[in-house]
Amino acid sequence: MSLGTDVVNGVVSLAISVGVVVGLMDDDGPWNRTDLLLAVAVSSFLSGFFTSYFAK
């Protein structure tokens, strides 16, 4: 697998995670919506990328 495959796996993980969070979140929490989605996006991308990278 190449680096491109690892990036694609990170993007797929990002899309799934952000989609689930957007679907389940409500507006009455103490957090900022943008900050929450950014944190989920970064962590899910890195999780998907490095899981694919080190699984070789």
What residue segments make up the domains of the chain, in order of their start? Answer: 3-54
What lies within 8 Å, CB to CB, of 38 at 6+ separation is: none
pLDDT tens digits, residue range 3-43?
999 999 999 999 999 999 999 988 787 888 999 999 999 99
Give φ, ψ of 32 to 5 degrees.
Answer: -85, 130
More confident of the two residues 27 and 2:
2
The structure's pTM equals 0.86
Q: Which amino acid is at 48?
A: G
pLDDT grade for 1, boundaries at 50, 70 and 90: low
Asked if residues 49 and 6 have their Cβ atoms less than 8 Å apart, the reply is yes
Q: Is 18 exposed, middle or buried (0-12, 13-18, 19+ CB in 10 A)?
A: middle
More confident of the two residues 56 and 48:
48
Instruction: Quote the pLDDT of residue 7.
Output: 96
